[in-house]
Structure 1
Amino acid sequence: MITMKQIAAETGVSVSTVSLVMNNRDQGRVKPETSRAIRRTAERLGYRPNPMARSLRTSRTGMLGFISEEVATTPYAGAIIKGAQDAASSLGYVLLTVSTDGSDRESDQIQALNRYGVDGFLYAKMYDQMVDLPAPLRSRPSVVVNAQEARNRCPSIAPDEFLIGYDATRHLIDSGCRRIAYLGTTQDLPAQTDRRRGYQAALLEAGLPDDPGLVCNVGFNQEALDAVNALMDRTSPDGFFCFNDSRSFYIYQAAAARHLSIGRDISLVGVDNHQVMAETTAPRLTTVELPHYEMGYWAARKLMDLIGDSDAATLPWPETLAPLPPIDAEEPVRIHCQLIAKDSTRADR
């Protein structure tokens, strides 16, 4: 473990000077160029604050509580936890993770985390939705992850669903498509509403009609495949924007049955960058990646800022696929997701 004494020796200053800088008490007491040199040295050596010393100094435990219904047990969204852990450990915090399966269990888990003395809570959901922050969390520092708090009682971060729909449709337009279908979900979700609005906005901008006949909301299995087959026979789309990657599989099936080539005869964009779909589809599916890691990282940094850790706002952000919003971004915070061009649209081949 790198110590302040090592940083002092490397920088050529006293340990007390390093302590002032690393505890953010250097303003007016240490020359700015000296403070910058100490921080650069600390970062280069990989210095991490001592959590026990931090706890004694700040009256905080250095523990953050992570609560979710399914995220903690689902590999698909596990990157949320990875992002939160990376952010927490960068400032010497520990993430305590619990997975709930209902309101009663959720209340029990919150009480358990409170008994451990966590400094604040991350409240995560499997998909973007409106949520009511549980009553026990409303008086504690809390951040909602991958959802929006219904009354904006705390900060939240989620994907920018409108731009997902806009960017996906714009990419199809740029690949030469003019009859673009939207394959949505039958679930009443904010993501469904906003992604379709983005789809409509891109069509309008390009001077293309927003044809209700090209919109098809489906569930799963044979019923969904039947609906896609009927849509293709009725309207002959040359491009598809799918609500998620799993629904795009019906397009692959329907195209194969008609001897149509994905990426040549039909262009296709999904959402998720789902690992299974990414590894099994041919040609590879162009998709918009949901920023699970980024949401977890930002939320943990925001939470540490809420509980009064001054370091949370000053540390540099890591390089990520989706740009991370500033810590003081206007709330509710939305992340602009990145489209990953592969082979399923003509522009990608």
Structure 2
Amino acid sequence: MRATIHDVALVAKVSIKTVSRVLNDERYVREDTRQRVRAAVAQLNFHPSAAARLLGGGRSYQIGFICDNPNPYYVFELQMGIRDRAAQDGVRVLAQPYDRDTDGLTAEIGALIHATRVDGLILTPPVTDRRDVLDLLVGSSIPVVRVQPGSDHHLTPAVAIDNVAAARAMTEHLIARGHRRIGFIGGPDAFKVSGERRTGYEAALKAAGFPIDPALIAQGDFGVAAGSAGGALLIDAEATAIFAASDAMAAGVLAEAHRRGMTLPRDLSVCGFDDSSLASSVWPPLTTVRQPLRDIGWHAADLLLTTDPDQPHRTLPFEIIERASTMHR
């Protein structure tokens, strides 16, 4: 039969209340007693239920991961990083996908907090910049860490890469290879990173003395279909290189170029952003910006679970990965 807290108390020769204090990591328990209880827990393979912890008024040992992104690779990699760090503290991760356009988003997040009493939340774009959600969470005093926030940076700890610098570096990479008509496909406006990546793209062009040509800028949604549509517009505008703000959109550009019978990268250089698994499986393999998504997830969880973090805002490095989808003019 499954061991109970009563069994742990008997083996450790302490009261049930003392076992509860140790499980909830409360203070004022002697170290030898704490070690005896932990040894009994291990011996009996005891796993206290979240409900029992909640009834005892302690931590739930659960954190919430709020996600809304059309790229499943992005969500998976972040979640794996969060899980790896949470597992070190015996914490469960509750992943909750949400529709950013729903009117009831704030109420749904509030219901999640009330029903599970999670110990904290990790928010990802674009929910990370929803002011109504931030007001709710800051007002509730629940610990929150945001991934890639684009506004109100002072409100919560956060983990990010420098999207402006990354997009500028990729655009400069294309300029250094002789490209002068460089197209850009941005992401949806709801994602602050979309604007940051466009800012980086335009900054590189201005620094090189190139004009910002509206005909070379297309709007996308981070998906493959939007990449194909944007690619069609930019190819018609005689772009020699196209920088898409996600690997999925870059893959759509490749598909459109193949449909037109173009030889890649001789006729068109294409690059993306993320370095997802898609980047190395398309043909030709994509030159892309690698953002360390799993590391970002790990650090987000670490900020949430560390009681007194030395760095409430962590910026992780990006890397330009050059593959066969780009070449010199």
TM-score by length of 2: 0.69
Structure 2: runs of 5 or more not aligned? 1-20, 30-57, 99-104
1:328 pairs with 2:311: yes
> Retained in 1: the 8 A contact 2:150–2:192?
no
Which residues of 2 match residues 1-349 of structure 1 at below 5 A?
Answer: 52=22, 55-57=25-27, 61=59, 63-70=61-68, 74=72, 76-90=74-88, 92-99=89-96, 101=98, 102-114=105-117, 118=118, 120-127=119-126, 130-132=129-131, 133=134, 135-136=136-137, 138=139, 139-148=141-150, 150=152, 152-185=154-187, 187-218=189-220, 225=228, 228-233=231-236, 235-279=237-281, 281-305=282-306, 307-308=307-308, 327-328=310-311, 331=313, 333-346=314-327
- Following the alignment from structure 2 to structure 1, what is the Cα–Cα distance between the partners of residues 112 and 226? 39
Instruction: Give me the CA root mean square deviation.
Output: 3.3
> Retained in 2: the 8 A contact 1:77–1:126?
no
1:156 to partner: Cα distance: 1.9
Aligned-partner residue type, residue 335 of structure 1: L
> Retained in 2: the 8 A contact 1:129–1:191?
no
1:164-187 Cα offsets, whole Å, 9 max, x none, are 211211121222222111122353
Q: Structure 1 residues 52 and 245, CA, compared in 2 at 3 Å: closer, same or farther? A: same
Q: Structure 1 residues 64 and 210, CA, compared in 2 at 3 Å: closer, same or farther? A: same
Q: Structure 1 residues 266 and 69, CA, compared in 2 at 3 Å: closer, same or farther? A: closer
> Retained in 1: the 8 A contact 2:230–2:253?
no
| More deviation, 169-178/182-191 | 182-191
Q: Structure 1 residues 69 and 237, CA, compared in 2 at 3 Å: closer, same or farther? A: closer
- Following the alignment from structure 1 to structure 2, what is the Cα–Cα distance between the partners of residues 82 and 230? 37
Aligned-partner residue type, residue 257 of structure 2: A
1:275 to partner: Cα distance: 2.3
> Retained in 2: the 8 A contact 1:172–1:269?
no
Aligned-partner residue type, residue 228 of structure 1: G
> Retained in 2: the 8 A contact 1:148–1:158?
no
Aligned-residue identity in percent: 24
> Retained in 2: the 8 A contact 1:269–1:345?
yes
1:208 to partner: Cα distance: 2.7
1:205 to partner: Cα distance: 2.3
SS at match of 1:89: helix
- Following the alignment from structure 2 to structure 1, what is the Cα–Cα distance between the partners of residues 59 and 232? 57
1:35-82 Cα offsets, whole Å, 9 max, x none, are xxxxxxxxxxxxxxxx947814489748251231447x9554122222
1:144 to partner: Cα distance: 1.7
- Following the alignment from structure 2 to structure 1, what is the Cα–Cα distance between the partners of residues 269 and 280? 16
SS at match of 2:156: coil
Aligned length in residues? 269
- Following the alignment from structure 2 to structure 1, what is the Cα–Cα distance between the partners of residues 294 and 224? 30
TM-score by length of 1: 0.65
Q: Structure 1 residues 303 and 76, CA, compared in 2 at 3 Å: closer, same or farther? A: closer
> Retained in 1: the 8 A contact 2:216–2:234?
yes
> Retained in 1: the 8 A contact 2:227–2:252?
yes
1:89 to partner: Cα distance: 3.4
- Following the alignment from structure 2 to structure 1, what is the Cα–Cα distance between the partners of residues 27 and 115? 25
SS at match of 1:268: strand
1:283 to partner: Cα distance: 0.7
- Residue matched to 2:102: none
Structure 1: runs of 5 or more not aligned? 1-50, 314-326
Aligned-partner residue type, residue 248 of structure 1: A
SS at match of 1:216: strand
SS at match of 1:255: helix
Q: Structure 1 residues 67 and 226, CA, compared in 2 at 3 Å: closer, same or farther? A: closer
1:240 to partner: Cα distance: 0.9
| More deviation, 193-202/53-62 | 53-62
1:123 to partner: Cα distance: 2.4
> Retained in 2: the 8 A contact 1:183–1:218?
yes
